Structure 1
Amino acid sequence: MPQLYIGIMSGTSLDGIDLVLADFTSKPNLLSRCLLPFPASLQRELRSLAEPGDNEVERIGPVEYQLTECYAAGVKQLLQHANYQPELISAVGCHGQTIRHRPSQAQPFTMQLGNMHLLAALTGIRVIADFRRKDMAYGGQGAPLVPAFHQAFFARAGQNRAVVNIGGIANISLLHANGSITGYDTGPGNCLMDDWVSLHRQQPYDKDGVFSAEGKLLPRLLQQLLSDPFFQQRGPKSTGREYFHLPWLQQQLTGQEAPADVQRTLCRFTALSIANELQLPNLSEVFVCGGGVHHPVLMADLQQLLTPAKVKSSSSEGLDPDWVEAMAFAWLAQAFDQQRPGNVPAVTGARKACVLGIEYRP
C-alpha cells in the first residue's frame, strides 16, 4: 500500500500555508505542493494575535475557524492538482498556526490555532496534529521538531553536516559524523527583515535582497541586537514572533538610522546568529531551506561566515527548500501512525523520546 500523507505548515513568517503531498513508501518523495496565501484580513489578525492584546479569546474563535477553512481549501486544491482522491490519503499532518510559544516559563505552554475536528470533517481525511505539547509535557521546548526529519533525510555516516531552516524564526540541525543530532532555534530568520521592509517599502518581504543590498552595516546596532539574553543561552532553546517582533527592534534604534542600513544590519544579524551556532570542527556542508534561501545577501553572508564549509540549498540533496517543513509534518503524521518517536530529546530537552500528535477522525 502506498504511504501517502499530506503535510500542512503555516509558520511564523505568516506568508501563507504550505501544503505537500508526499509518498513515504520508500524514500520521501514529494508528489505535489501548493502555497495558499493568507487573505489579507486573516494575516493581519494572526499577526496581531501573535502579540499580547485585548479580548484575545473572542478574537481567536472566528480566526481559528477561518484559518481551518483555508487549510481545507488548500487540501482540496492540492488533491485536485495531483489528481488524487481523499480516500487514498493516509492522513494529514497539520502543524497549526503558532500564536504563542512560552517554553521557558515556570508553567510552560505553546498554542497553535486550528480546529482539527473541523479540518477532518471538511476534508474527509484523518488529521494528526498537536505535535508540540507532548514534548513539553516531558520537559522539552516543544521545538524545533523538524530535526528528526532532517536526520532521516540529510544525515550521512562519517560526515559533520548541518541543516538550517530560515523561516520567520531560524533553526538548525547539527548532524554529527557519529550519528548523533543536536539542534535548536537560533533566533530571528526572516521575521524582522519582513517587518522592516513592510514598514518602509510596503512589501511583504525583501525580494531578492534588494533592500538589504542598498544599505551598509551598522556595527553598533549589530552588537546591540546580538547582546539580547536569548543569544547567551545554550540549547535546547526555542523562540518565536512573540519575542522577536517589530517593537523589540524599534526599542534598539535611535531613530536616526537610514532604513536600508537597518535592513542590511538585520540581514547580517540573522546570518551571524546562525553562524555563531555552527562553529563545528570539520563541518563539511550546510544545507539551507525555508524562505531565507532566496535572499542572496543572506546566503552570501552565511557562506562568508561559515567558510570552508559549503553553504548550499537543500535542493542539492533533491529536496525543494520551500517545502521541507511541510514535508516534515507529513513525515511526523506517518511517524504517529507507525508509533515512532517524533522528537529528539537532545534537541528539545525532553526527558524521553515520544510519539507526537493526536488523531482526529472525520
Structure 2
Amino acid sequence: MHALCIGLMSGTSMDAVDAALCRMDENRVVGVEAVHRLEYPAPLRRRLIDLQLDPDTSLTLRELAELDHGVAETFAAAALGVMHGRPAATVCCIGSHGQTVFHDPQRARNSLQLGDPSLIAARTGVTVVADFRRADVARGGQGAPLVPAFHLASFGTLTPCAVLNLGGIANLTVLPGSGTAYGFDTGPGNGLLDAWIARHRNARYDRGGQWAATGTVNTALLEACLDDDYFRRPPPKSTGRDHFNLAWLQQRFPALEALPAADVQRTLVEVTARSISAQLQRTAPDIRRVLVCGGGVHNPVLLASLRSAMPGVTIESTLAAGLDPDQVEAAAFAWLAWRRLQGRPGNLPSATGASAAAILGGIYAP
C-alpha cells in the first residue's frame, strides 16, 4: 500500500520553495506524482538572505515573528500548488524543512528554521512534520546534512557511488561498496556564484554558466580561496552562507575588485569543483561514480570543471538513477516526514556526528 506525502524545501540559495508530491512505500519514495515551485516575495527573500549572511544582525521579536509567518505562508502556498485541488484527506503528511536562518550546532548548539508548521497545517488541512534538525543537534550532531539518509535509501543499491547536491552550499554523500555510508557539507556550491553575479550583473544566478564561460581562472584567487581550514577539516562537518560569502571572498583576496568580474565568476566555479573533488579524493578515493542533484546540475561549466578535476570518475545527474535532480531535496523531506510518522529514525549519525540515530521532527495536526 502506498501513501502520498509532500516535501517542501528551500535551501541556502532561497531561489524558490520546491514542493514534491511523492508516492511512498514502507521504506522509500517510489515515485513523484507532481512538483511545484514558488518564489519568495522579493522583500521577504532579501531579508532572509540578510539574516543568513549576518546571524549577529539586530532583529526585533516582531520582525522575527513576521518572517516566520511570511515563510509559512509561502510554504503553504507551495504545498497547495502541488496538491492542485487534491483533497487534503488523500495526503498523508507534509514534510516542511522550513527556511534556515541560523545554523551553529557547535557554539550555539542550535539550528533555527522559520516557517510556522501550525500555519501550514491550517492552510492545507494536512498534518505537517517540521523542525527536523534539532533532535539531531540535541544528540551532539551537526543537524546537517540530513539528506544522506535519504540518499542511502534511494541510491543504496547502486553502491559504490557518491551523491553530490549542488545547492547554495554543496553536500556530498558517500555510499561505499562496503562499510558505513556517510556525508558532509563540502563548502560552497552555487552560493558564491549567485552572490557575485547579483552584485555585478543584477541577476539571481548565472544561467547555464554563460557568464562564467567568458572568464578565465585566476590562479592566485583560486589558491587563496582553497586555503581555508574548512576544506581540510575531516567530516562530519556542516557550513553555511554565514561562512562562505562575499565578505569571506574579499578577506581571502583583498585585491578582488581589481580583477575582471567574469574572471572571478569563472574562478568561483573552479573553487566549487576543486574543493569537492579534493575532499572526495581524500575521504573516498575509490569512488568512480558521482550522481549530481540540485541547481548546479544545470550549470554545464561547473559540471565540466568537476569532470576535469575528477578524471576517471563518471559524473551524471541523479536522473540516471531514476530521480529528477530538481526533486531530490524536496522528496527527501517527504521521506523524512513519512519516517517520523512511522516512528523511525531519519538521521545518519555517520553524516551528522550525532551520538545516536534519532526520530526527527515534530508533528502538527491541521
Q: Is the TM-score greater than 0.5?
A: yes
Aligned pair 1:137/2:138, yes or no?
A: yes
CA–CA distance in structure 2, aligned partners of residues 5 and 335 of structure 1: 11
Secondary structure at the aligned position of 2:157 is classed as: coil
1:270 lines up with 2:272 in the alignment: yes
| Corresponding residue of 1:219 | 219
1:328 to 2:329 alignment: no
SS in 1 for 2:254: coil
Contact 2:231–2:279 (Cα < 8 Å) also in 1 = no
2:38 is matched with which residue: 36, 41, 62? 36
Inter-partner Cα distance in structure 1 for 2:321 and 2:181: 19
Q: Is the 8 A contact 2:218 2:264 kept in 1?
A: yes
Map residues 75-86 of structure 1 onto 2, 5 A cutoff: 75-80=79-84, 83-86=85-88
- Give the aligned partner of residue 312 of structure 2: 308
The match for 1:124 is 125
Mapped to 1, the partners of 2:329 and 2:77 lie a distance apart of 19
CA contact (8 A) 1:19 1:33 kept: yes
Task: State the match for 1:98 in structure 2.
Answer: 100
* 1:46 and 2:43 matched: no
Aligned-partner residue type, residue 44 of structure 2: L
1: CA distance, partners of 2:355 / 2:292: 29
Shift of 1:304: 1.2
Task: Give the aligned partner of residue 6 of structure 2.
Answer: 6
2:298 pairs with 1:294: yes
Rate the CA distance shift 1:314–1:30 in 2: closer, same or farther, 3 A. Answer: same
CA distance in 2, matches of 1:152, 1:307: 28
Shift of 1:271: 0.6
1:2 deviates by 2.9
CA distance in 1, matches of 2:254, 2:182: 34
Q: Deviations over 1:112-162 (max 9, x none)?
A: 1111111111111110011000001111000000000101111236x3200
Distance change in 2, residues 1:56/1:224 (3 Å): farther
SS in 2 for 1:70: helix
Deviation at 1:179, TM superposition (A): 5.2
Deviations 1:225-275 (A, max 9, x none): 111221121100001112112222222231211101110110000011111
Alpha-carbon distance in 1 for matches of 2:240, 2:117: 22
Alpha-carbon deviation of 1:68?
A: 0.8
How far is the alpha carbon of 1:305 from its aligned partner? 1.3
How far 1:284 sits from its partner (Å)? 2.5
Give SS of 1:322's match. Answer: coil
Q: Secondary structure at the match of 2:357?
A: coil
Asked if 2 retains the 8 angstrom alpha-carbon contact of 1:285 and 1:310, the reply is yes
The alpha-carbon deviation at position 108 of structure 1 amounts to 1.4
Q: How does the TM-score come out when normalised to structure 2?
A: 0.95
List runs of 5+ in structure 2 lacking aligned partners: none
Against the structure 1 CA distance between its residues 56 and 290, is the aligned structure 2 distance closer, same or farther, given a 3 Å change threshold?
farther
CA apart distance, 1:58: 2.9
CA drift at 1:94: 0.3
> Are positions 1:164 and 2:168 aligned together?
no
TM-fit CA distance, 1:97:
0.2
Give ranges in structure 1 of 5+ residues lacking alignment: none
Scaled by the length of structure 1, the TM-score of the pair is 0.96
Whether 2:203 is the aligned partner of 1:199: answer: no
Question: Quick one: percent identity of the two aligned structures?
Answer: 44
Q: How many residues align structurally?
A: 358
Provide the C-alpha distance between the structure 2 equivalents of 1:68 and 1:91, rounded to a whole number of angstroms.
Answer: 16
Tell me by how many angstroms 1:25 deviates.
2.5
**Secondary structure at the counterpart of residue 162 of structure 1:** strand
RMSD between aligned residues: 1.3
Which stretches of structure 1, 4 residues or more, deviate above 2 A after TM superposition?
Answer: 55-58, 250-253
Distance 2:163 2:140 in 1: 24
